[in-house]
Homo-oligomer: A and B are copies of this chain.
Amino acid sequence: MFREKIKVFDCTIRDGGLINDHDFSDHFVREVYRALSEAGVDYMEIGYKNSKSLFPDEKFGKWKFCEDDHIKQVIDGIPSKMKLSVMVDVGRVEIKDVKQKKDSPVDMVRVASYVKDIDKAIHLVNQFADKGYETAVNIMAISRALDSEITEALEQLEKESRADVIYIVDSFGSLYQETTEFLVKKARSIIKTKELGIHAHNNQQLGFSNTIEAIIHGVNYLDGTVYGLGRAAGNCPLELLIGFLKNPKYDIRPILDLISKEFVPLREKMEWGYIIPYAITGMLDEHPKAAIELRASHKKENYREFYDSIKGKDLD
């Protein structure tokens, strides 16, 4: 699948940070940056730009705040054409914390928003556009929104926002290729002046195939993470995506090296991937929260009881 406009967008450190309170070492972030740069990846999202007045500094690693100086230190001296992104959540960022683009190593700001918060997201994303950044709005948990709500949100984003990219985010890993196709075609029919993106979680081992499905129907911004690292089941594995895309600008080999040296050892210490409780929340279209709690408890392998507890909620 060669298409000039396709952009591979890595979120390893940002989404992976949701597992370890964003406390990756400088060495690790630097090695990820180096390998992604060598591989020809287009964007790397290095973390969240959260307000320090809302979150106690000492409880989180530096990639929850992504201060420009920390970013500069960690990428210093590594040749790269890759762009850098940070994510902001509606209600968790202070605009004054974000410099003008021309004074920052960051190229892009992505605003994560539920459908119900789309007015706030538009207000926010336009301010980052004013500061000179490339911008995106990521519509989270789209599998749980009503069709009429999604239509309205997309129409507003098309008309009122200055975002460059609108992302479909399968937060719960519950989409199949038919539902992915439906949502992408719907978005494509409304979003005419912007690019579309896909961010797929891997609860049912469908992160990669849903990303392919999105590509087939015209999505050009493709999120992935190295070795699928990310909260709960993790994300579309970047190495599979690179292996699939036929664009000669990408080289999978630095990513393979990175997995050997950094991610295989990390997986011994940190849990993510295909784990049955996450598959269960995916197939039942639920937030992985309950499964994350289960995995931290002594009942971590009690899958049947967990399934019944989640199913039971439907009947309450």
Q: Is A98 an interface residue (CB 8 A)?
A: no
Cβ–Cβ contact A204 & B276, under 8 A: no
CB distance from A279 to the nearest CB of B (A): 6
Q: Is A28 an interface residue (CB 8 A)?
A: no
Chain A 91-123: CB-based contact to B (< 8 A → 1; otherwise 0): 000000000000000000000000000000000
A256 to B207, CA, bound (A): 22
Contacting B at CB under 8 A, from A192-245, are 202, 204-210, 212-213, 216, 228, 237, 239-240, 243-244
**Contact residues of A: prevailing secondary structure:** helix
A276 to B242, CA, bound (A): 13
Chain A 145-187: CB-based contact to B (< 8 A → 1; otherwise 0): 0000000000000000000000000000000111000000000
Cβ–Cβ contact B283 & A240, under 8 A: yes
Determine, out of A7-15, A77-85, A300-308, the stretch whose residues face the partner at the interface. Answer: A300-308
- Which of A207, A273, A304 has most chain B Cβ within 10 Å? A304
Chain A 46-67: CB-based contact to B (< 8 A → 1; otherwise 0): 0000000000000000000000
Cβ–Cβ contact A276 & B205, under 8 A: no
Interface residues on A, range: 35 or more
A228: B residues at CB distance < 8 A: 274
Q: Is A290 an interface residue (CB 8 A)?
A: no
CB distance from A18 to the nearest CB of B (A): 21
CB distance from A170 to the nearest CB of B (A): 13
Task: Answer whether A260 and B204 are a contact pair too, CB < 8 Å, given A209-B177, A244-B283, A279-B243.
Answer: no
CB distance from A159 to the nearest CB of B (A): 34
Cβ–Cβ contact A301 & B260, under 8 A: yes
Task: Answer whether A301 and B176 are a contact pair too, CB < 8 Å, given A204-B240, A205-B240.
Answer: no
Cβ–Cβ contact B178 & A252, under 8 A: no
Chain A 303-316: CB-based contact to B (< 8 A → 1; otherwise 0): 11001100000000
Residues in A lying within 8 Å of B, measured CB to CB: 176-178, 202, 204-210, 212-213, 216, 228, 237, 239-240, 243-244, 252-254, 256-257, 259-260, 264, 273-274, 276, 279-280, 283, 301-304, 307-308
16 contacts between A and B (CB under 8 A): A176-B209, A176-B212, A177-B209, A202-B205, A205-B237, A206-B208, A206-B209, A209-B210, A239-B279, A240-B279, A252-B307, A253-B308, A259-B303, A260-B302, A260-B303, A274-B274
